[in-house]
Amino acid sequence: MRVISGTAKGRSLKAVPGTSTRPTTDKVKEAIFSMIGPYFDGGQVLDLFAGTGGLGIEALSRGMDKAVFIDIEKKSIDTIGHNVEVAKVKDQVEIYRTDAARALKVLAKRAEKFQLVFLDPPYRMKGIAELMTTMEEQAIVEPDATIVVEHDAKDVLLETIGGFKQLRRADYGDTAVTIFKRDNTSIGLSN
């Protein structure tokens, strides 16, 4: 695994030890960023279920200002810490060891707003729609936010979840990537 493009291009990232996480392959990462970017002009990214932190680090390398990494596993948190050092983005990140629901509550209390969110939960977890709805209800996503969901290719996500509309889905073997964009014109939000 490596950073594919941007300021940290070519830097090697460490995988989480063991088999409890499945890092996003370079091929899938490249495809994700060609669909949503490929580069950014600032903003905040939330990497929920961060694992190695590879997606959030790639977003920083490609122009995001700040990343918040959330994972419940200590091995993942340690790996993210190592990887942000290697990528030289440590001063742009916050890393928290907690579960996703608790993290969203804390981020809402802090009035954090994210332009880009990566959701890459364990494939057995089935609460993606609920997490997206919670993010919207707790107002932690920007009006034009993009959510990238990496999930089992067997799972088909709804076309619309709250104010998010599915833009695209791409399959890569047993992995699928579904991109959602927040559409405020249809939901009448003005925040």
**pLDDT tens for residues 19-46?**
767 778 888 999 999 999 899 999 999 9
Q: Is it the case that residue 51 has pLDDT exceeding 50?
A: yes
Q: Is the pLDDT of residue 58 over 80?
A: yes
Say what the pLDDT of residue 184 is: 65
Residue count of the chain: 191
Reported as a pLDDT band with limits 50, 70 and 90, residue 143 is: very high
> Distance of CA 83 to CAs 7, 69, 91, 151, Å?
14, 12, 13, 23
Q: What is the pTM of this model?
A: 0.92
How many Å separate Cα 186 from the centre of its chain?
24
Domain made up of 41-187: CATH architecture: 3-Layer(aba) Sandwich (3.40)
